[in-house]
Amino acid sequence: MRNYTAHDIEAMYRPFEKHITHVIVAHTKLRPYNAKNEVQLENMLLETRKACTYALNCFSKMLYPSATNKPFRQPHKYRPLTLVTTEGARWTADRAQTIHVNIALGNLPHVLTTQDIETLFRHTWHDMARQGTDIKVIEHHGSNWVGYSLKEAQQQPSRAWNTNSNWDVGNCWIPTAALNAD
- 114: domain CATH number? 3.30.70
Which of the residues in the chain have pLDDT under 70?
1-2, 153-154, 156-165, 180-182
- Rounded to the nearest 10 degrees, the angle between the axes of helix 38-62 and helix 114-122 is 130
Query: Greatest CA span in the chain, whole angstroms?
Result: 49
Question: Does residue 180 form part of some domain?
Answer: no
* pTM of structure: 0.88
Question: Does residue 107 form part of some domain?
Answer: yes
pLDDT, tens only, 124-166: 999 999 999 999 999 998 777 777 777 776 676 666 555 566 8
Question: Does residue 165 form part of some domain?
Answer: no
**Whole-angstrom Cα distance, residue 163 to residue 166?**
9
Instruction: Express the helix, strand and coil content of the chain in percent, nearest 5 each.
Output: 50, 15, 35
Domains in the chain: how many in total?
A: 1
